[in-house]
Structure 1
Amino acid sequence: MPCPFHISRRAFLTGAAASVALGAQATAQASLGAPRDDGTPRSDKPTVNDPDARLEFHGVHQQGIVNQPQTYAEVVALDCQFTGKKRLEQLLRTITERARALTAGGTTPPDGIAYPAGDSGELGPELPTDNLSVTLGVGDSLFDGRFGLSAKKPARLRAMESFADDTLVADKCHGDLVLQICADQHDTVTHALRDILRHTRGDVAVRWRQNGYMNEPRPTGTQRNHLGFKDGIVNPSPDEFDHLVWAGAGEPAWAAGGSYMVVRLIAMYTEFWDRISIAEQEQIFGRDRATGGPLSGGDEYAEPDYLDDATGDVIPTDAHIRLANPRTPETADQLMLRRAYNYDNGVRDNGTLDVGLLFVCFQQDLERQFVTVQKRLEGEPLADYIRPYGGGYFYALPGVRGSDDFFGSGLLA
């Protein structure tokens, strides 16, 4: 398959990809904080990090889904290097043990003279927690027969398809397992990844990896993406999680407490974007670039006025926010919970900046939510400036219920 980045401007502008990753569709950063006085969500990030801040590891649901998104993230897809259910159980137990220990923090184990160091030392002798979360998901390929789990596959899980405008790169897609590691400090994320890979060496191989970060709000509110716009403002409220985020009817009993996880690696072509006027950029998004508010008026949390703008005279009918979230009763159950991160991978082979979005979202139903919205976005004007090229569909496992439990225990029972 040709590289998605080696394209001419002419070819790019006539064939780029649409994506649900940007704009007004749900964003975790924007809504999981305390509400403002007027009832709208608060997205301002804390300015002081607490190295002792800790998320509870045990629970019905995993960390890293509905908690306030941390500043840094790694998403890493893994392929198993073995067959057999027993060895898979041992792998999942090991990942659980390491995640439990890492999120608890504390003093690193003492080193024996004749043994390898027990820790990388990257964080020093006392491990901070920095709100570290480790979230584990399983991919469609885990149910291909190698582990005897075919009959237990989540009802809607499948390999991620290529949408009309995607340019998917095979070795940047899918995976038997996926790890999402998030924390308030970058070195805490990297340390956790190294630790887990060290303890699972020989069992898994990294298929693909992408790290990301959240910008500070400028000046306030939601973070901005590399295109200069506030990236995602609307998100489900906690009282909607049961019918928008967590497993619903028709799923196997073991899947209760889990959620469908979509990861999309989305390149942004900033050199092209920076050559168009702000007015055109705002028409493409449907929002004011400075404030984040809809073009119909108000701040970033204001409700766009579609009712009195049926023909798109103020907010174009093909604007990103209008396609992503039409705000009709019929589309109310399509909202997703998202945790989107910017990325910067340096420079592409053609000399352009390799920047983009690490898009992650969680939902109850892949087809009803992500796929439906993604298809509605096909051909939007924003597609001329972005291109999805990797990622996958996964099922985020239910939470670890206690000290004797482990990731996927119900699946392997």
Structure 2
Amino acid sequence: MTVDQSPTPHEGLSRRGLIGLALGAGAAGIAVGAGAGVAAAAAVRAGQDGGAASAYDFHGSHQAGITTPVQDHLHFASFDMMAGADRDDLITLLQDWSYAAARITQGLDVSATGAVGGSPQAPPDDTGEALGLAASGLTITFGFGPALFEKDGVDRFGIAARRPAELERLPAFLGDDLDPGASDGDLCIQACADDPQVAVHAVRNLTRIAFGRARLRWSQLGFGRTSRTTQVQQTPRNLFGFKDGTANILADDTEALDEHVWVGAQDEPAWMAGGSYLVARKIAMLIETWDRVQLAEQETIVGRTKGTGAPLSGGDEFTEPDFSGDAMPETSHVRLAHPDFNGGNRILRRGYNYVDGNNTLGRLDAGLFFLSFQRSPSQFVQLQRALSTDVMNEYLRHVGSGLWAVPPGVTAGSYIGEGLFA
């Protein structure tokens, strides 16, 4: 099946996508119903919270989930294409994902027949755990990893020549103890929502759609955002108890976004214009060790007061730090990460806390799932290297890592990454 012959997202899921839903549920057949599922799901959504459910449009010049007000919950997933998958498999997968994402971000089921509108003798198209729930501000953001373009010297999908020059596996950094099973991947999905069940539902169903074309490599649940992207959002706290993301780039700062986050029209390759680059880092925090550190030392390490979040040089949380005196230690996190000491370099952060239970020593397996968007991967590399002398590193271990090119947004009837295949 060629791309021209493939169904466009507004027509519905491809045959492969429908088969994936069925086989992903453990059966071989599926029935395609009429449009009753759309009306039923829409009625459910309209009746939820008096019809006031928050929903972000999947379509737009940029992908949602970057400057969107940061939601409270995350389900991040990394995928590898299956051995033997070809270019048409990749294209139809992206079409199917785009079609499904455009629906579920509006509080609808993944397809027209949905969870209850199909044949009772066939597995449902939709898993159904989000029935009756509002859209909950769900956003779905897709990214393409370096190995999608070339893996072990093989151009599996005929796109190696269109790989962005900077899209390479991140270099090794001081303090890395990376788990290959929680790093990298051909494709990624960032699903953010104000209801954790809505985010999980999104990744669960997109994984089913991918059956036979891509497989889940690893995933991560996150809670309690560690940044803000709007003026009205309060600055949250990380698991060390400090306010995090005070100086983050905000959605209304279009000048900073154009300079530091969005790939420009003059950048290469042209198909990435309006897109960005996503870095994910799973950072384990040595919680019990940190909890035994004196408050004054904690504040010296961070460079801010724990209570108000004000810089140690004085003022309130949003006062610009004064580095001229001795109040801000040279090895403090705030100083080392500040644009004044990094050539004006800034990134947009969208991190989350995570707790994955306890380890074998009975300590919390917890930390920060760091997410950042930047115009160029070199911005993150520069900042991470600048933090090599950060005293906070004594309490951190970087255990997962990945870099993905995030294509620009799409219009209705198009699909994510279409420009790559033009």
Taking structure 1 as the reference length, the TM-score comes to 0.82
Partner amino acid, structure 2, of 1:53 = S
Partner of 1:412: 421
CA distance in 2, matches of 1:49, 1:73: 25
Partner of 1:33: none
Partner of 2:371: 360
User: Given that residues 287 and 293 in structure 1 are in contact (C-alpha distance below 8 angstroms), is that contact kept between their aligned partners in structure 2?
Assistant: yes
Q: 1:51 to 1:160 in 2, by over 3 A?
A: farther
Shift of 1:51: 6.5
Matched, 1:75 2:76: yes
User: Given that residues 160 and 174 in structure 1 are in contact (C-alpha distance below 8 angstroms), is that contact kept between their aligned partners in structure 2?
Assistant: no
Partner of 2:411: 401
CA distance in 2, matches of 1:95, 1:57: 11
Q: Which moved more, 1:230-239 or 1:147-156?
A: 230-239
Shift of 1:352: 1.1
User: Given that residues 53 and 131 in structure 1 are in contact (C-alpha distance below 8 angstroms), is that contact kept between their aligned partners in structure 2?
Assistant: yes
* Pairing of 1:383-402 with structure 2 (within 5 A): 383-402=393-412
Equivalent of 1:135, from 141, 150, 163? 141
Please list the CA deviations of residues 209-259 of structure 1 after superposition, one character each: whole Å capped at 9, or x if unmatched: 111012699xx9311111010112112223211111111343111111110
CA distance in 1, matches of 2:142, 2:226: 27
Q: 1:385 to 1:252 in 2, by over 3 A?
A: same
* Pairing of 1:191-206 with structure 2 (within 5 A): 191-206=201-216
Shift of 1:158: 0.5
Q: Which moved more, 1:346-355 or 1:261-270?
A: 346-355
Partner of 2:14: none
Shift of 1:374: 0.5
Matched, 1:251 2:268: yes
Q: 1:58 to 1:216 in 2, by over 3 A?
A: closer
Please list the CA deviations of residues 275-331 of structure 1 after superposition, one character each: whole Å capped at 9, or x if unmatched: 11000000000000011110011221110011x31xxx2110110000001525x62
CA distance in 1, matches of 2:74, 2:225: 12
CA distance in 2, matches of 1:216, 1:386: 16
Shift of 1:127: 5.0
Please give the root-mean-square deviation of Cα atoms over the aligned residues, in Å. Answer: 1.9
CA distance in 2, matches of 1:191, 1:378: 38
Partner of 2:63: 62
CA distance in 1, matches of 2:156, 2:321: 49
User: Given that residues 51 and 130 in structure 1 are in contact (C-alpha distance below 8 angstroms), is that contact kept between their aligned partners in structure 2?
Assistant: no
CA distance in 1, matches of 2:244, 2:283: 13
**Unmatched segments (≥5 aa) in structure 1:** 1-47
- Percent identity among equivalent residues? 40
Partner of 2:12: none
User: Given that residues 155 and 250 in structure 1 are in contact (C-alpha distance below 8 angstroms), is that contact kept between their aligned partners in structure 2?
Assistant: no
User: Given that residues 259 and 362 in structure 1 are in contact (C-alpha distance below 8 angstroms), is that contact kept between their aligned partners in structure 2?
Assistant: yes
Matched, 1:347 2:358: yes
Matched, 1:373 2:383: yes
User: Given that residues 60 and 399 in structure 1 are in contact (C-alpha distance below 8 angstroms), is that contact kept between their aligned partners in structure 2?
Assistant: yes
CA distance in 2, matches of 1:141, 1:225: 32
* Pairing of 1:2-151 with structure 2 (within 5 A): 52-81=53-82, 82-106=84-108, 109=114, 110-124=117-131, 126=132, 128-144=134-150, 145-151=155-161
CA distance in 2, matches of 1:222, 1:112: 48
Shift of 1:397: 1.3
User: Given that residues 107 and 134 in structure 2 are in contact (C-alpha distance below 8 angstroms), is that contact kept between their aligned partners in structure 1?
Assistant: yes
CA distance in 2, matches of 1:50, 1:79: 38
Partner of 2:302: 285
SS, match of residue 180 in structure 1: strand
CA distance in 1, matches of 2:373, 2:50: 26
User: Given that residues 85 and 412 in structure 1 are in contact (C-alpha distance below 8 angstroms), is that contact kept between their aligned partners in structure 2?
Assistant: no
SS, match of residue 239 in structure 1: helix
SS, match of residue 378 in structure 1: helix
Partner amino acid, structure 1, of 2:128 = G
Equivalent of 1:331, from 338, 343, 346? 343
Higher normalized contact order (CA 8 Å, seq sep 6+, divided by chain length): 1
Partner amino acid, structure 2, of 1:174 = D
Please list the CA deviations of residues 155-198 of structure 1 after superposition, one character each: whole Å capped at 9, or x if unmatched: 21111222022111111111000100001111100111111111
Equivalent of 1:234, from 224, 247, 271? 247
CA distance in 2, matches of 1:408, 1:52: 29
Equivalent of 1:171, from 172, 181, 198? 181
Q: 1:123 to 1:147 in 2, by over 3 A?
A: same
Partner of 2:30: none
Matched, 1:210 2:227: no
CA distance in 2, matches of 1:49, 1:234: 36
**Unmatched segments (≥5 aa) in structure 2:** 1-48, 228-232
CA distance in 2, matches of 1:215, 1:86: 37
Taking structure 2 as the reference length, the TM-score comes to 0.81
Shift of 1:366: 1.2
Please list the CA deviations of residues 104-131 of structure 1 after superposition, one character each: whole Å capped at 9, or x if unmatched: 224663031211123222122x452111
Please list the CA deviations of residues 338-366 of structure 1 after superposition, one character each: whole Å capped at 9, or x if unmatched: 10100010001222101100110000111
User: Given that residues 56 and 64 in structure 2 are in contact (C-alpha distance below 8 angstroms), is that contact kept between their aligned partners in structure 1?
Assistant: yes
Q: 1:257 to 1:216 in 2, by over 3 A?
A: closer
SS, match of residue 327 in structure 1: helix
Partner of 1:303: 320
Q: 1:392 to 1:130 in 2, by over 3 A?
A: same
SS, match of residue 119 in structure 2: coil
Shift of 1:379: 2.7
